[in-house]
Structure 1
């Protein structure tokens, strides 16, 4: 490099000059203090023979040539007496060129290693240019813009531990003058720049590169602020949101504590204190570890600590330092759990610091090393300054965790649908405002008026009969097994009680075969528990019956304590149907919400049913139009057809064969709903609207008027309504879906028998068209599909 300005974009043309310093010496040469005057004359005499020291130097090699003279000129600034203590350099600003330094600085750089490159840590490239401009504004135009920031060096020590050094500049010996190409800066220019910090083009327009001459040098006074910076880094690390999800978080945390304590090979861990359980728990996060728990997720405090460490940490809330783990392990004869756990991890010294506030202990900060005595009760006191930040971070983390827990509970147990969440938020804010204002807070009623309801269900046909049949089969098999064991026991011992049990079992078997009743299962289960189980315990001791009794117990499900085979197939089938149908409906709902927001909820029973409400009061916007209601009705009918198809495509995967029947309830008048706090769900408001709920609960059991035929049938969709205009509307939808091969041509309109408190209902009933698989383009009626599936 032949010029220090090479490869640098700056408004400055840099020149290293000692002219301003030498002018000070000219004044000092006239001092009345002869010692000071003589020294000043000696410096001036040295500089006299080298005019470039005043005129300015731009070639680094010239600085090397004049190294001896520069050292003499700077002797007062770089005292030989303090050179091994002060960290000081002479340089030009924002440049790595250093032409004079103290011995202490040289030693630090040498220790850092040959591959170390000295850079200002927190100076972005663009900020360097703008900082230089603000210096010009202050020096040349008197506009003092406060853009001062602390600058730092990060330099590793002999052990590789990062040390932090703060730089303070002395700019007493510089002159800045505008060159010919420097635009004059007006007040308007300065005002414009105040609002355009990020506009680099504007700064360069006002201060073109090399438009000002920087003549002089700066003295950098450098101070080791590792402790302060480590504390600041800990604070910064803990402030960030979701930092513990970052894989690099704990690595950075280790390095920060290494700098704070001046120790290379130390690690940091955490454990959270659960007051209810009086236990330590693992902190969940990337790279998080607890050395107190080792491989355990949790452990009681008494199981992790001895009495002394327990009292120190939990009761007194003081640091607990272990300088030599092996020594104290031997002294405790391996009985103190903390020494045993640490020794298993090859830890030789440790500091356990309680994370506590006025409410009590929240967790433990664990600092460990594989070297003995490097961690002890003395350097434990260095943690005093950082613990408040760790306490604050843990407090915030616990609050965030509690909020997350509440959010999960709300989502999984008492979910508020997104379409109405805004109304709950509004009331919650009013509640908080009342609390702050000192008035009695009241969570007002959440209600929505003039909204249109939609209801649909895909119901499993004959589910009660299927479960009764499965129960009959399971109980019959169980009773037959018991009967065989007792018959063999009677052959060995002619006890009348055996005959009585056999008589009772035969009666139960006959009842199961002839007239199974609702309470039959309960009666038989009570008989087995009270009479048969004690008997089998006795018979198990008889060698010839032992294998039979063991085989019987192996057939019993240990979770429900009954023979649970056919009933399990039934339960698994119901569960699979509900899971698959609900998943499909949820997936389709995402599309429907994108068309127009509306309230949606679904329930799993013996099948899946769903409620939807749509209207202006839910969307909160002046955007509702009846077209969105009609669209949602058509969407619902089409999705019900798709759910029917999906069910029969999966039917062969179910443990037992079941059928479904689909129904839609149309309610033409808008109604009101309100949120019932006690049941955590929405319900209709008012006596008139209650008619809708009555119809919902009873209509699926309705019969066609004048017959014993149930309205809902497998392979068909039933659309229940009461108004002629609803009939006209849905016949249009049916015709459209017939054109798309969703529905068959066998449309029928039927009247329903009167329900309790409900009269005048009618229904459109039409068969669904199916296909064998997703690639099959042919369509089938239900009967045709069953023939194809069973073929």
Structure 2
């Protein structure tokens, strides 16, 4: 017997056997023979101990009258079935149990003295409301169905949790209403039907202890561990996103332990990649693959013997190894999956195929460090759960494919969130017209009218010249190294071909040093691959003394490009790092900007980073756009350009090569239209007039200041290009604002630009960017020249 449940209830519990005594009175009066005699015996107990008929709330009486109660309940608790049935009498809605069957006693004794028997799935509020529905059903005659499956969770001798379902027989109970309990009207019932969770309303109509539940309940208990485990496996696998929860695999493992009655059972998974013929590990919290020994990938033929391969992949049947050590000795460690299990210390295992109509999609791996715990007999129990595992793996695979597509879309053909709604509308219309209505209408064009453009770029200054210098250095190094080897070879073995190739090398060295052209890199690279490399191989075979020199030469050659790639690699790596660094800053700042007001944004990596933005009513779908938001975004753009410049120069020690950048903003003050080009999968301006904006974007950074040979963009300065006087006035105000913030310098200049093809009248504001040396003093600002001095020192 456990302690009583002290939670509140609308009913007082009065344990009584009065209804049972009434049945025996009828039996004594109308029965005959042994039945009447037995009824008389039980009624004598009732006379001797009146509290058993009248009822008691002192549950200690259950102990003092244990023998008498056992006699009274003998017919309802058949002693011949006591060792098989799991059964007890109980106080309604209470954890107190008495008169346990022998089997129930044994189960609780095995659980240990510290185990506390408790009904699961009975929250206190629900318990109170359920008691109210019992009153409505038993006393008022309604038929409310609020029964829920209750169960016990009890560990067995091995510590494996067993699940027991409880079914109650309440034939020997009655509900008694006190004089103080409110009467329940139909209006009250109607109100309760719509307010199940309003516990205070229930308590107002059914106050605590306003009714008495008199009698006792018989609890018939059934071991439903297998059914419960299957249900839990189904629930955990099928439920949306549950398999992504942090403790998913741990919980699933616990359920499998109960299902197969193995305390140390571990669960693993591997995915079958049919295309490549390999098993792949599933990544996730707590996920393991014992077949792969947690390696990321493994060839099927290397992981399974021929027989197991055929059974799993072709026949789609499980493999059971009941004694790993015995099989390991028998096969002398030559069977791959047996060897893998032996290495990890497992003694028994089951590999079950996860397969659908299309074939194998993965492996369920069950392992234990107990020999014979897993075997071909209990492997058959998996048939009940495999459909749910198959469904989950199929869904995970689909989710993975969707994730891949999402990544491709994001990284390759991204549709910005600000305009996604329009694409969704068009897609819904396309589905309606072409799939539902069976028409043949192409995907509608996506366009936005009257949006204001903003363009900016942070460009690597002198990138072409820097790459040419890197290329020259690499080519010179490779040509000189090759010539040195050929000259040595010519000393030992005079051959005309050596002299001819050496002569050609000298000619190319002169071309690289003094007359480097656009096609020089390609021509010389082909010469080095097609003529020099084969010659060096011949020299290596015929002149062993030069083997060391040739090996040293070959070590400098990039395997993929087949040319010396040192200085160019430094350049390429630097540009790549700059792009990643600048893009990361821009993307992070964009999150803040979108919160200010939604707008379209895209960026491109070239020799630097460019960004396009469009803002306007047609993008936001809301009647909320104001030019204030455009002005705000223009201010934001200037600040971000300054922040990117600062971040770049403060990270000079990270870049392999020292390069400079130059920043530019292009101002276009008239709204325009943009249209999504389906063939190019990107937005572009729409209309001939608006095309002028695109022309300026592509050419302006190469424009010269009128009357000079100086480019408009310059390292250490922000260049703001525009064409209208109103733009100049607006941006001069912005510049003065950032000068007051010590972000821009005092050397502001307004310059005119040389005419571009088809574009005239461009001007630019140029102003120095002030830099903070974050390593020295974040509050002190420097010009570009000052900062370079500090960095060098």
Same fold (TM over 0.5): yes
User: Measured at CA, do residues 335 and 550 of structure 1 come closer, stay the same or move farther in structure 2, by a change above 3 Å?
Assistant: closer
What's 1:553 paired with? 554
| Local SS of the residue matching 1:269 | strand
User: Is structure 2 residue 50 aligned with structure 1 residue 48?
Assistant: no
| Local SS of the residue matching 1:361 | strand
> Cα distance, 1:770 vs. partner?
3.9
Between the aligned partners of 2:484 and 2:525, the Cα distance in structure 1 is 18
What's 1:698 paired with? 699
What's 2:15 paired with? 16
User: Is structure 2 residue 467 aligned with structure 1 residue 470?
Assistant: no
User: Measured at CA, do residues 708 and 6 of structure 1 come closer, stay the same or move farther in structure 2, by a change above 3 Å?
Assistant: closer
Greater displacement, 469-478 / 484-493: 484-493
User: Measured at CA, do residues 472 and 349 of structure 1 come closer, stay the same or move farther in structure 2, by a change above 3 Å?
Assistant: closer
CA-to-partner distance for each residue in 1:448-506, whole Å, 9 max, x for gaps?
Answer: 11111111112222221122122222222222222333333333233333332332222
What's 1:319 paired with? 318
Between the aligned partners of 2:296 and 2:660, the Cα distance in structure 1 is 47
Between the aligned partners of 1:86 and 1:781, the Cα distance in structure 2 is 90
User: Is structure 2 residue 615 aligned with structure 1 residue 620?
Assistant: no
What's 1:298 paired with? 297
Consecutive unaligned residues in structure 1, runs of 5 or more: none
What's 2:199 paired with? 200
- The TM-score, its normalising length taken from structure 1, stands at 0.93
Greater displacement, 311-320 / 134-143: 311-320
> Cα distance, 1:4 vs. partner?
8.1
User: Measured at CA, do residues 757 and 81 of structure 1 come closer, stay the same or move farther in structure 2, by a change above 3 Å?
Assistant: same
State whether residues 483 and 505 of structure 2, in contact with CA within 8 Å, keep that contact through their aligned partners in structure 1. Answer: yes
State whether residues 13 and 92 of structure 2, in contact with CA within 8 Å, keep that contact through their aligned partners in structure 1. Answer: no
What's 1:715 paired with? 716
Between the aligned partners of 1:548 and 1:385, the Cα distance in structure 2 is 69
Between the aligned partners of 2:545 and 2:383, the Cα distance in structure 1 is 75
What's 2:189 paired with? 190
User: Is structure 2 residue 774 aligned with structure 1 residue 775?
Assistant: no
| Local SS of the residue matching 1:81 | helix
What's 2:268 paired with? 269
Greater displacement, 201-210 / 343-352: 343-352
> Cα distance, 1:760 vs. partner?
2.9
| Local SS of the residue matching 1:289 | coil
Between the aligned partners of 2:768 and 2:325, the Cα distance in structure 1 is 81
What's 1:533 paired with? 533
Between the aligned partners of 1:60 and 1:789, the Cα distance in structure 2 is 85
User: Is structure 2 residue 759 aligned with structure 1 residue 752?
Assistant: no
What's 1:666 paired with? 667
What's 2:484 paired with? 484
| Local SS of the residue matching 2:258 | helix
> Cα distance, 1:692 vs. partner?
1.3
Greater displacement, 663-672 / 582-591: 582-591
> Cα distance, 1:419 vs. partner?
1.5
| Local SS of the residue matching 1:540 | helix
What's 1:86 paired with? 85
What's 2:612 paired with? 611
| Local SS of the residue matching 1:378 | helix
| Local SS of the residue matching 2:563 | coil
Structure 2 matches for 1:246-261, cutoff 5 A? 246=245, 248-261=247-260
| Local SS of the residue matching 2:175 | strand
User: Is structure 2 residue 648 aligned with structure 1 residue 642?
Assistant: no
User: Measured at CA, do residues 277 and 771 of structure 1 come closer, stay the same or move farther in structure 2, by a change above 3 Å?
Assistant: closer
Between the aligned partners of 1:559 and 1:357, the Cα distance in structure 2 is 42
| Local SS of the residue matching 1:459 | strand
> Cα distance, 1:567 vs. partner?
2.3
State whether residues 244 and 286 of structure 1, in contact with CA within 8 Å, keep that contact through their aligned partners in structure 2. Answer: no
Number of corresponding residues = 790
- The TM-score, its normalising length taken from structure 2, stands at 0.93
What's 1:213 paired with? 212
User: Measured at CA, do residues 745 and 161 of structure 1 come closer, stay the same or move farther in structure 2, by a change above 3 Å?
Assistant: closer
What's 1:159 paired with? 158
State whether residues 4 and 58 of structure 1, in contact with CA within 8 Å, keep that contact through their aligned partners in structure 2. Answer: no
User: Measured at CA, do residues 331 and 416 of structure 1 come closer, stay the same or move farther in structure 2, by a change above 3 Å?
Assistant: same
What's 1:630 paired with? 631
| Local SS of the residue matching 2:506 | helix
Between the aligned partners of 1:329 and 1:768, the Cα distance in structure 2 is 72
User: Measured at CA, do residues 442 and 139 of structure 1 come closer, stay the same or move farther in structure 2, by a change above 3 Å?
Assistant: farther
Structure 2 matches for 1:564-583, cutoff 5 A? 564-583=565-584
Between the aligned partners of 1:471 and 1:4, the Cα distance in structure 2 is 86
> Cα distance, 1:348 vs. partner?
3.7
CA-to-partner distance for each residue in 1:367-388, whole Å, 9 max, x for gaps?
Answer: 3333444433333222222222
What's 2:144 paired with? 145
> Cα distance, 1:438 vs. partner?
4.8
What's 2:428 paired with? 429
| Local SS of the residue matching 2:630 | helix
CA RMSD of aligned residues (A): 2.7
Between the aligned partners of 2:434 and 2:110, the Cα distance in structure 1 is 61
User: Measured at CA, do residues 436 and 82 of structure 1 come closer, stay the same or move farther in structure 2, by a change above 3 Å?
Assistant: farther
> Cα distance, 1:135 vs. partner?
0.9
